[in-house]
């Protein structure tokens, strides 16, 4: 199963047979006061710089979320899309709960983006699936329904089936659906990790679709978060996740190491190249 996401200059393919795709998460005002303030003022220079920094750090796809109190996302999201596409070649993930903002962004986007997101909630399926079909883009499906986010593998798998079935019924090809299995913080839900890993394995076996998730959600509230995040990235990739939403600068070495072990890095070229790049950067800071 290959999910293709493109800009006007570059194609990224998400697939179990290819290296794990990194979706750069940093253009998101949640918990970032400075980014919220500049977005409210309509200043997109910070957005442009974040896109450049993330691509330099190894992000394959750039997520763009401008949703924050006081921000007119219908106006700002398409402007941000234009700024990012002028700055970098990487394809994009258009991230908004607002259908009108997404449609405004899709009208100006050059290529085939990934849309974040639709869920198993009835209102979301009815609102978002026609938009995805109209613009022939790829979409992230959140395993959340009208009863909330499930705490066990069984319901996660059931919601994934529902999303895929409804999307295909709406005329959306299965390869354009990427399931987000959603992860609770391990400190609050001790079984969350095991449940998600089981859900990933079953969704891979039963539906064959590509899967993603926020790679750092598992560690919220815990000490030594980078250690947990690195271990988690390796575990979900082995289970079948094919794209991770994360800060590339913090977790890419662990992702590359996992891909190397799984035979997805011929002659270790990507891992060695990244190692040399990090060594050079360390030398420059001395």
pTM score of the predicted model: 0.95
CATH of the domain at 65: 3.20.20.20
Instruction: Tell me the helix, strand and coil percentages in the chain, rounded to 5.
Output: 50, 15, 30
Find residue 6's DSSP bridge partners. Answer: 11
- The tens-digit pLDDT sequence of the chain (286 residues) is 999 999 999 999 999 999 999 999 999 998 899 999 999 999 999 999 999 999 999 999 999 999 999 999 999 999 999 999 999 999 999 999 999 999 999 999 999 999 999 999 999 999 999 999 999 999 999 999 999 999 899 999 999 999 999 999 999 999 999 999 999 999 999 999 999 999 999 999 999 999 999 999 999 999 999 999 999 999 999 999 999 999 999 999 999 999 999 999 999 999 999 999 989 888 887 7
Is the CB of residue 235 less than 8 Å from the CB of residue 197?
Answer: yes
* CA dist., res. 203 & res. 226, Å (int): 27
- Number of structural domains (the chain) is 1
Task: Identify the domain containing residue 26 by its residue range.
Answer: 3-284
Q: Tokens 């100006």 correspond to what residue?
A: 108
Under DSSP, the state recorded for 95 is E
**Per-residue exposure over 54-93, b if at least 16 CB sit within 10 Å of its own CB, e if not:** bbebbbbbbbbbbbbeebebbebbbbbbebbbebbebbbb
């Amino acid at each position: 199963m290959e999910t293709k996401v493109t800009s006007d200059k570059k194609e990224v393919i998400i697939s179990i047979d290819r290296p794990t795709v990194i979706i750069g998460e940093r253009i998101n005002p949640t918990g970032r006061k400075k980014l919220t303030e500049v977005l409210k003022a309509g200043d997109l220079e910070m957005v442009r710089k974040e896109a450049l920094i993330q691509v330099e750090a190894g992000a394959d796809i750039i997520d763009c979320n401008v949703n924050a109190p006081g921000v007119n996302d219908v106006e700002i999201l398409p402007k941000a899309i234009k700024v990012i596409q002028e700055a970098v070649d990487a394809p994009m993930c258009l991230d908004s709960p607002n259908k009108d903002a997404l449609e405004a962004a899709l009208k100006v986007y050059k290529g085939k983006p990934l849309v974040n997101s639709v869920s198993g909630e009835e209102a979301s399926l009815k609102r978002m699936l026609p938009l995805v079909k109209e613009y022939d883009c790829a979409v992230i499906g959140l395993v959340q329904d009208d009863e909330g986010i499930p705490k066990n593998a069984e319901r996660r798998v059931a919601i994934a089936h529902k999303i895929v079935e409804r999307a295909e019924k709406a005329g959306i090809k299965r390869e354009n659906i990427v399931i987000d299995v959603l992860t609770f913080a391990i400190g609050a839900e001790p079984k969350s990790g095991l449940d998600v890993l089981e859900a990933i394995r079953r969704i891979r076996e039963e539906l064959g679709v590509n899967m993603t998730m926020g790679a750092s959600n598992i560690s919220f509230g815990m000490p030594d978060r980078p250690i947990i995040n690195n271990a988690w990235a390796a575990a979900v990739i082995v289970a079948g996740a094919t794209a991770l939403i994360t800060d590339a600068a913090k977790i890419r070495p662990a992702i590359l190491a996992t891909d190397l072990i799984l035979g997805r890095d011929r002659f270790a070229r990507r891992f060695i190249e990244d190692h040399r790049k990090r060594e050079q950067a360390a030398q420059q800071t001395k």
